[in-house]
Amino acid sequence: NEIPHNEKLLSLKYESLDYDNSENQLFLEEERRINHTAFRTVEIKRWVICAMIGILTGLVACFIDIVVENLAGLKYRVVKGNIDKFTEKGGLSFSLLLWATLNASVVMVGSVIVAFIEPVAAGSGIPQIKCYLNGVKIPHVVRLKTLVIKVCGVILSVVGGLAVGKEGPMIHSGAVIAAGISQGRSTSLKRDFKIFEYFRRDTEKRDFVSAGAAAGVSAAFGAPVGGVLFSLEEGASFWNQFLTWRIFFASMISTFTLNSVLSVYHGNAWDLSSPGLINFGRFDNEKMGYTIQEIPIFIFMGVVGGILGALFNALNYWLTMFRIRYIHRPCLQVVEAMLVAAVTATVGFVMIYCSRDCQPIQGSTVAYPLQLFCADGEYNSMATAFFNTPEKSVVNLFHDPPGSYNPMTLGMFTLMYFFLACWTYGLTVSAGVFIPSLLIGAAWGRLFGISLSYLTKGSIWADPGKYALMGAAAQLGGIVRMTLSLTVIMMEATGNVTYGFPIMLVLMTAKIVGDYFVEGLYDMHIQLQSVPFLHWEAPVTSHSLTMVGATVWSICPMLLPSSLPAAVCCPGPSACRCCGMVPDSLFPHKVFVERANLSLVQRRLKLKDFRDAYPRFPPIQSIHVSQDERECMIDLSEFMNPSPYTVPQEASLPRVFKLFRALGLRHLVVVDNRNEVVGMVTRKDLARYRLGKEGLEELSLAQT
């Protein structure tokens, strides 16, 4: 049981990303030597890497899409054939058994690979990427192995009929691809291509991971601008025009690659009609504009979405706490996933069985129409919702002409799918929560639109598809609480900008209402995992906290021994004066100079040593320092960052917070007014302070 039971803790297992490892003398010297031509070469390499990130992310998205389409199609055909067969001669329970078994076994495979091979591939990966971009190192999160498990896992989850989407995991996939390509090597494959060595440092890698995440969003929703905004919202502490432009380039390439390949695959090679894994389809703004009178209605829908989202999150919170306590063994996790798969199939089957909502088959675009007990030439409307990938169901709810769905069907579907999706999120499978949220919202939104249409006696503006869209936005906003990026993603997925204003209003309302009750789903899960995550701003009431009494982590002259994450080198007879900072990554290499002959350096560290070891420097404890070596000295001046950032001890918490956030720092030396070191502030010290119900709370560090 790795995760602490009490959520008011910070876990020690999450390291900060070492943003300033590249600030030591070796790196600085390299930068000093760099001339204009070399700079240009590096810049071109950055663009090439971004193009590659875009292309590969697009291809991975294509792969997932095509495999899911084929496997899911196969499954639906088998089950449909079976149901059709048994409808006539009775014994539909066999069909149920077949369906549930099929789903459970597919999900079992998906869950086993995640639980036993790479647990970090579970879920959508968005909380993990948020943490990574925030500056927290989560073990294994950007490894090739994770990518493979993620891709296979998400295919199996979707094919297994769980209430999940394949969009969220694309963001994680894009991030892994970016991390891999930009480093020019793979630890999982043990291959080093000896390229892009310049980028083997945290700042550069993180920039590429931002681009990868953006490319993932872009491929998932056909939303390149939304992708850029997602990356910026989550990650970029410091906005840089060139970086943003590169991120946008990667996003564009990603959606373009997906579009081209899928167009070729679907046989209409040049039409470029599939910019994303999910496309909301074309909302015709001539037919379907909105009027000013509708705006209060949209705001009301935002309120409903906020409340339902908060309910979803609260239920999921309890469920997650339960899981942390009782379901932490991998085999139990697999069993739970199978159970959910079987229950999902059963619920679907029962609902289809009980439904009496028949629609004429003529003129409809249903992929796998199920006649069941309907008259000839008709199909069961409830079955379309369950006999489709969730993506298709969403689009159907948006675009099916008025009258395609019975209000009862929609109501039952919303209710059931809400609980199923809530139960599913947090299972040990790779899966996203975007599409289920959209689907729940689209269902109740359409229901709302139909009711409105009844009430107003079929007024022209009560098109249920539009309300389905707004409901989807409200529900998703209420669950994930993203702001600008989600608005833009929704705008781009609908393909036109007309709905921008109402979508923004709906998302804003949903966020405000939802935040009143409980925080967003991703933030909740980040907090449950005790990650030292830094939010946008320091808690408002923390202005009176200063750095006086900062933890003294390490002070010379006992520079060398044991657990010392970042030493402050301070010559001077009496007190320790801050004259530089030495990275911890230096010590494992044991560069000692014997006390006797100070001028003789035993082994000089090279920049290459840092780059080859990056990012997995051996922990300091793993180095054996013999008694003889303890007598030796090190010449630190070469490896030292001569001008570390310092703050006076009178500095307030918000000011230090701003420095950390704006500069992406890992630790900051606290000095008094003689520049004598009084301590060190780390990211965990800042993340400890949270605004709780009764004002400022201080969390303690978990000992796990």
Residues 645-674 that bind a second copy (CB under 8 A): 646-648, 650-652, 654-655, 658-659, 661-663, 671, 673-674
Member of 1, 459, 496, 551 binding a second copy (CB under 8 A): 496
In whole angstroms, the minimum distance from the beta carbon of 425 to a second copy comes to: 23
Length of the chain equals 704
Residue 516 interacting with a second copy (CB under 8 A):
no
Report the phi/psi class of residue 599: left, alpha or beta, with left for phi > 0 and alpha for psi in -120 to 50: alpha
Member of 6, 362, 544, 599 binding a second copy (CB under 8 A): 544
Site string for a second copy, 599-638 (x = CB under 8 A): ----------------------------------------
Member of 184, 216, 222, 532 binding a second copy (CB under 8 A): 222
E strand or H helix at 527, and its extent?
A: helix 521-528
What whole-number distance in Å separates Cα of residue 499 and Cα of residue 515? 24
E strand or H helix at 16, and its extent?
A: strand 15-16
What whole-number distance in Å separates Cα of residue 64 and Cα of residue 80? 23
Binding segment toward a second copy, per CB under 8 A, in 153-161, 173-181, 350-358, 642-650:
642-650
What whole-number distance in Å separates Cα of residue 612 and Cα of residue 609? 5
Task: Name the residue nearer to a second copy (CB basis): 68 or 236.
Answer: 236
Residues 518-537 that bind a second copy (CB under 8 A): 536-537
Residue whose pair of structure tokens reads 């980028």 in the numeric block: 199
In whole angstroms, the minimum distance from the beta carbon of 178 to a second copy comes to: 18
**Amino acid occupying residue 644:** P
Residue 354 interacting with a second copy (CB under 8 A):
no
Residues 292-311 that bind a second copy (CB under 8 A): 292-293
Task: Name the residue nearer to a second copy (CB basis): 25 or 333.
Answer: 25
Residue 59 interacting with a second copy (CB under 8 A):
no
3-class SS of residue 201 = coil
**Amino acid occupying residue 445:** G
Residue 281 interacting with a second copy (CB under 8 A):
no
Q: Which own/partner contact pairs does 346-349 have at CB distance under 8 Å and 24+ positions apart?
A: 346/96, 346/100, 347/416, 347/420, 348/99, 348/161, 348/386, 349/95, 349/96, 349/99, 349/100, 349/386
Member of 73, 501, 515, 690 binding a second copy (CB under 8 A): 501
In whole angstroms, the minimum distance from the beta carbon of 150 to a second copy comes to: 27
- CB–CB of 440/417 below 8 Å? yes
CA atoms within 13 A on the CB side of 542: 25
Residue 460 interacting with a second copy (CB under 8 A):
no
**Amino acid occupying residue 417:** Y
**Amino acid occupying residue 581:** M
Residue 238 interacting with a second copy (CB under 8 A):
yes
Residues 564-603 that bind a second copy (CB under 8 A): 577-579
For helices 295-326 and 521-528, the axis angle rounded to 10 degrees is: 20
Residue whose pair of structure tokens reads 């449909």 in the numeric block: 80
In angstroms, how far is CA 51 from the centroid of its own chain? 21
**Amino acid occupying residue 500:** G
Member of 1, 2, 5, 34 binding a second copy (CB under 8 A): 34
3-class SS of residue 103 = helix
What whole-number distance in Å separates Cα of residue 384 and Cα of residue 196? 49
Residue 332 interacting with a second copy (CB under 8 A):
no
Tokens of 209: 């991971």
Residue 241 interacting with a second copy (CB under 8 A):
yes
Residue 500 interacting with a second copy (CB under 8 A):
yes
Site string for a second copy, 464-493 (x = CB under 8 A): -------------------xx--xx--xx-
Task: Name the residue nearer to a second copy (CB basis): 168 or 222.
Answer: 222
Residues paired with residue 581 on neighbouring β-strands, in sequence order: 568, 641
Task: Name the residue nearer to a second copy (CB basis): 372 or 647.
Answer: 647
Residue 675 interacting with a second copy (CB under 8 A):
yes
Residues 179-218 that bind a second copy (CB under 8 A): none
Q: Cis peptide before 615, with omega less than 30 degrees from 0?
A: yes
- CB–CB of 308/478 below 8 Å? yes
Task: Name the residue nearer to a second copy (CB basis): 273 or 562.
Answer: 273
In whole angstroms, the minimum distance from the beta carbon of 487 to a second copy comes to: 7
Strands 695-698 and 689-692: antiparallel
Member of 119, 281, 402, 495 binding a second copy (CB under 8 A): 495
Task: Name the residue nearer to a second copy (CB basis): 194 or 270.
Answer: 270
Task: Name the residue nearer to a second copy (CB basis): 432 or 539.
Answer: 539
Angle at CA of residue 61, ends 344 and 274, nearest 5°: 95
Member of 196, 208, 256, 398 binding a second copy (CB under 8 A): 256
Member of 94, 245, 326, 373 binding a second copy (CB under 8 A): 245
Residue 242 interacting with a second copy (CB under 8 A):
yes
Member of 84, 192, 271, 612 binding a second copy (CB under 8 A): 271
What whole-number distance in Å separates Cα of residue 52 and Cα of residue 266? 24
Residues in the interface with a second copy (CB under 8 A) total: 82
Residue 330 interacting with a second copy (CB under 8 A):
no
Residue 45 interacting with a second copy (CB under 8 A):
no
Residue 32 interacting with a second copy (CB under 8 A):
yes
Residues 374-433 that bind a second copy (CB under 8 A): none
3-class SS of residue 700 = strand
Residue 166 interacting with a second copy (CB under 8 A):
no
Task: Name the residue nearer to a second copy (CB basis): 151 or 665.
Answer: 665
Residue 681 interacting with a second copy (CB under 8 A):
no
Residue 101 interacting with a second copy (CB under 8 A):
no
What whole-number distance in Å separates Cα of residue 690 and Cα of residue 10? 11
Q: Is the dihedral of CA 657, 659, 663, 666 positive or negative?
A: negative
